[in-house]
Chains A and B, each alone.
Chain A
Amino acid sequence: MEFDFSPLVDSWQYLAGGLLLTLALSLLTVLGSLALGTAVGLARCYGPRWSRPALAFYVDSMRSVPVLVVLVWMYFAFPLLTSVTLPPFWAAAVALTLHIAAYVAEIVRAGMVSVREGQMRAALAIGMSRRQAVAEIILPQAIVRMLPALGSVLSITIKDTAIAAVIAVPEYMKRSETVAGQSYHPIEVFTVAAIVYFLILFPVTRIVDLIYGRVAHLGRS
């Protein structure tokens, strides 16, 4: 078996551009789903009572449908329904954000619930308002407990952006496919892609673990 890595060398700029897009899409999705997910998670704990069943329905629905389906629906079906056409990159950003925000919401809610009820009662007893108690007592403890799960959201997001290749977002996975198809060297191209993804994702998981190890004691109550 002979390996020929020249197609990768020839189109390294094309692939590097794809990698940048992968990282940009990941960053956008992480920020978007952190914002949306935190809002939904907090609303499920402290929001108006009428909103809770609707939010629970949103979260559970996203947990039961593949991200591929959300992506494809957002890109192909959503424009027909609303006559708003999103370019692939933005369709992917919106779909991934909607999907991952549901997971973030669950993490946030579980984190808030895990703080013992006595903490809230004690805060109220010393005269804090509910809002103060949540912001100053519950949240700081809960955030530390959420960290490992939120860290895994980071790597899940980077992995999920690869699925955006299906709706032709020219990110790293899609461009690897293109180079593999044009050069007839899929082994080299996909193996290098595997190594590149691993080199990005492995440090991410490790660093998150490391940071958590440093701050874990702050979450005890």
Chain B
Amino acid sequence: MKLDWWVVWQHRDALVEGTLVTVALTMVTMLIAVPGGIMLAVMRLGRSRPLALASASFVEFFRNLPLILVVYWAYYVMPILLGVQLDAFTTGLAALALNVSAYNAETFRAGIASVRKGQTEAALALGMSRWQALREVVLPQAARRVLPVLASTWVSLFKDTSLVSVIAVGDLAYNAMRVRSQTFRVLEMLTAMAVIYWGLGYPQAKLVDWLHRRFGVRE
């Protein structure tokens, strides 16, 4: 079999463009999903029963669905429910944001819950208000535990963005597979795609390991 690696260089524009879309999708999703997760966690931990239930249902629902199904669902059902036609990028973004918000909500909730109750009690005993105790005692400790988990979620998200290629968002996976079907250089294009994902993902995974070592809580 003859391999023609030149084809990868010839289509570098499509690959670079796809990579940029993948990175943008990751960043924008996280920008939405961090506040989204905080909001859901606050709802879950707050005093209002209905809000806590709504948050719990949302989180459990999206954590227990395959992401690819959420992507399809967003593509076919959302326009009809909302009555607006969204472009593929926004649709993919919405699906990813729903999914990652649910995971982030659990991360924040677990982070806050992991700070021992005695910490809040001690803060209150010192005369702090509930809000002060939360902001000055609980959250700084929770942040250390949340950070490594958020970083792991970031890497998962980076990889999961590849799933929006099924609704023709021009990300790295979609562009690489498009060039593959145009040129029939299957092995070259798919390997190039894998190598680019690897090149971007590997340092991120290593950084996450470092964050876990640096901030991880040991018993």
Contact = CB atoms under 8 A, between A and B. Distances in A.
B173 to A, nearest CB: 6
A159 B155 contact: no
A61 interface: yes
A139 B171 CA distance: 43
Interface of B: 1, 60-61, 63-70, 72-73, 76-77, 80, 155, 159-163, 165-166, 173, 177, 180, 186-187, 190-191, 193-194, 197-198, 200-202, 204-206
B64 A69 contact: no
Contacts of B191: 73, 77
26 contacts: A1-B80, A60-B205, A64-B198, A65-B194, A66-B160, A66-B173, A69-B162, A73-B191, A77-B190, A80-B187, A161-B66, A163-B163, A165-B68, A173-B69, A180-B76, A187-B76, A190-B69, A191-B77, A194-B69, A194-B70, A197-B65, A197-B69, A198-B64, A198-B65, A201-B65, A205-B63
Given A60-B206, A155-B64, A190 B198 contact: no
B68 A173 contact: yes
Nearest to B76: A186
Interface string A207-220: 00000000000000
Contacts of A177: 72
Given A166-B166, A205-B64, A187 B197 contact: no
Interface of A: 1, 60-61, 63-70, 72-73, 76-77, 80-81, 155, 158-163, 165-166, 173, 177, 180, 186-187, 190-191, 193-194, 197-198, 201-202, 205
A70 B66 CA distance: 17
Nearest to A72: B190
The secondary-structure label for the interface of chain B is helix
A161 B66 CA distance: 9
A68 B162 contact: yes
Given A63-B205, A66-B161, A193-B69, 7 more contacts: A68-B163, A69-B162, A77-B191, A163-B163, A166-B166, A190-B77, A205-B64
